[in-house]
Amino acid sequence: MTTGPGEHRSRVSAYGIAVDDGRLLVVRLADSSPIFEPGLWHLPGGGIDPGEQPADTLAREFAEETGLTLSAAELVDARSYSAHRLGVNWQLVALFYRVSLSSTTGIVSEADGTTDAATWLPLDGLRVATLSPAARDAVATIIGA
């Protein structure tokens, strides 16, 4: 499907905030990122497919982007964003979940997806300028950074 100039699209996404031992789990946005700029660190998660429950989206996206498995997820906030990328005007509704993981080791990076790296970043010294707008809001809301 091609997009014309000024096309408008809406998306509802679910993102997980995983904190362990003073570190935040993040993924780096790839060139194929549809909404936020590539190279920024973002929260694992993504668009909710038609008929899919947000918690199922989180589990699927965590497995795809990090190789990790969720053990719990609690909705903690929702935010709305407007962005323009690749000729599309986006309206994004982001659902933020505080998540627990079955394990915090064995991270993998997604291949051929909208992210190209996954890692744990220390919360102290986290550079806000390197985070996507959604990741910045989630950190401020949940962790108080």
Return the H-helix or E-strand segment holding 36. none
* HSE-CB of 136 using CA atoms within 13 angstroms: 10
CATH class of 7-143: alpha beta
For the chain, the domains span 7-143
Cα–Cα distance, 121 to 55 (Å, whole number): 24
| Strand bridging mode 88-101 / 7-17 | parallel
Quick count: other Cβ atoms within 10 Å of Cβ 118? 20
- pLDDT per residue, tens digit, the chain (145 aa), is 444 456 899 999 999 999 999 999 999 999 999 899 999 999 999 999 999 999 999 999 999 999 999 999 999 999 999 999 888 999 999 999 999 999 988 888 888 889 999 999 999 888 889 999 999 998 887 666 4
**Is 26 within 8 Å of 17 (Cβ atoms)?**
no
The pTM of this model reads 0.90
- Joined tokens for residue 28: 């780096």
